[in-house]
Amino acid sequence: MAGEQAQKDNVNTNKDSVRVNEEINVSRVRVIDENGEQLGILHVNEAIRLARQRELDLVEIAPKAEPPVCKIINFGKFKYEKQKREKTQRKNQQIQVLKEIRFHPNTDSHDFDFKTKHAINFLEEGNKVKAVVLFKGREMAYTEYGENLLNKFVERVQDIAKVESPIKLEGRNMSVIVIPVKNKSKKK
């Protein structure tokens, strides 16, 4: 039983990784040498023998192609370069967080300015901002106050942000989502 589990674990790790040399389980493959020149379609054993003669490995590059494409390269160097590419992709990836600013229909001008200043800081950091007006009880009869407040908010941040989702009323909340304009936002 333990042997079967180890075998299953081995199969699962092979699905995610690249197959090398004897792990390649097809009869014929298209072979590319270390200089990028095509050697044609060869039998797997012959391709492995060629790779060993050059003291390199046969690595399956495109397993879904017909026939699968394999390259004769140094597998250690291939893995290193792949990890390096993935690391730079993760590094360059920008994660946007949705920050929320809450208002009420009768929010005072000082509180509005204070919260808008925070929203501008969030936008400069590269985050999305959702401005929400919360209505309580009879305030629902005066939704135009909330809409005016959100229009004023959008007008205040329009030089560094653009509207992603227009003003909409959802139950007792009215909201708008703004995202930073790419060329004007600061990076952390």
pTM equals 0.52
Write the CB contacts of 121 (distance below 8 Å, at least 6 apart in sequence).
none
Q: Is the pLDDT of residue 188 over 60?
A: no
Q: Where are the domains of the chain?
A: 14-91, 98-184
Structure-token pair, residue 145: 């106050």
Among 97, 141, 131, 127, smallest CA distance to 111 is for: 131
- The predicted structure's pLDDT at residue 16: 53
- The predicted structure's pLDDT at residue 183: 58
**Inter-axis angle of helices 143-157 and 109-124, nearest 10:** 50
pLDDT tens digits, 55-102: 898 999 888 888 899 999 998 888 898 899 988 888 877 777 899 999
- The predicted structure's pLDDT at residue 19: 87
Report the CATH fold assignment for 14-91: Ubiquitin-like (UB roll) (3.10.20)
Among 58, 82, 86, 56, smallest CA distance to 71 is for: 58
Report the CATH fold assignment for 98-184: Translation Initiation Factor IF3 (3.30.110)
Give all strands (DSSP E) within the chain, no chain letters. Answer: 28-32, 38-43, 57-62, 69-73, 98-103, 128-134, 161-170, 173-180
pLDDT tens digits, 2-50: 444 444 444 444 445 788 888 888 889 999 988 888 888 889 899 899 8
- The predicted structure's pLDDT at residue 65: 87
